[in-house]
Amino acid sequence: MQNVHTHTWNQSDHFAPETVRETDVSRGFPIDLTVQFDAFMADMASFDKVIVFGMKARLNGYWVPDEYVAEFVARAPGKLYGFAGCDPTQHGYMEELRYGIEGLHLSGVKMGPIYAGFDPRDPRCDAVYAYCQDHGLPIMTHSGTTFNSKAPLGFSRPWLWDEVAIKYPNLRMVLAHVGHPFCEECLVVIRKHPHLFADISALYYRPWQFYNMLIAAQEYKVMHKLLFGTDYPFALSPDSIAGLRHVNDMLAGTALPRVSAHVIDEILNRDSFSLLGI
């Protein structure tokens, strides 16, 4: 199995104090999201390959240096693949990106428009998209909502990526969390573009939304574009796998349509790394 969505960071070094406070409020209790390597590897035991990134988004107080991600993944070569962070609102973002890829040998790029406060269609992004398309680098982007108060919801909409994909048809991209709660909007965007995918990370704990998304994906025939991810440390692997496997449990006693067991197996066993060209 493969996991396309995990984070590494040190909360005290990489999050602004206000961001830590908002995270605690969103959970309802104080939580330290710092990722410890041994705990991370234990959680990743079921996976052969894992994509790992931090986050660069100055507006909302996230800044994980690419060196930190590169050092983290170097502890398990062949299993962990790091992505460079990119915040195109900040000075020097292209130099940083080139160094992350060519100097630190990271395997793709992580963006977070809602966290950093930019429209995915912003002209400042063109250099990033062109570079990634030319170098065969996949982009993982946050899509959908978040709890941070300064994050503009207008930049979270999955449809914004449709225009990017029209302009860069060979650019491989993953829209994270199937754009929750705009899941159907995300499904129709990935349906249009052969190189666009969505990851199902951190959705299982809203089972009704998760179920409806999977049924919509079945009906739109885009199940083959859904990639498995967990969003560690926000969600753990055993819970994420069980949440997918047991998504039909709440239907007991109803005539509601079921998510096909065969398709669930396909999501869990998908060779996402090949689809993303890693």
Q: Which residues bind Zn ion (CB under 5 A)?
A: 231
Q: Quick one: 85 or 88, whose CB is closer to Zn ion?
A: 85
Measured from the CB of residue 231, what is the shortest distance to Zn ion in angstroms? 4
Helix spans in 31-73 (H): 37-43, 66-73
Looking at beta carbons only, is 162 or 231 nearer to Zn ion? 231
DSSP-derived 3-state class of residue 108: strand
Q: Which CB, 96 or 199, lies closer to Zn ion? A: 199
CA-to-CA distance for 27 and 14, rounded, in angstroms? 19
CB of 148 to Zn ion, least distance (A): 13
Least distance from C-beta 48 to Zn ion, angstroms?
20
Residue type, 21: R
Query: Apex CA 146: angle with CA 141 and CA 151, to 5°?
Result: 85
Closest approach of Zn ion to the CB of residue 5, in Å = 6
Distance CA 133, CA 146 (A): 28
User: What sign does the CA torsion over 221, 216, 195, 47 have?
Assistant: negative
Q: If 0-12 CB within 10 Å is exposed, 13-18 middle and 19+ buried, where does residue 160 land?
A: buried
Considering beta carbons, is residue 64 or 160 the nearer one to Zn ion?
64
Tokens of 102: 């060519």
Nearer to Zn ion, 87 or 231 (CB): 231
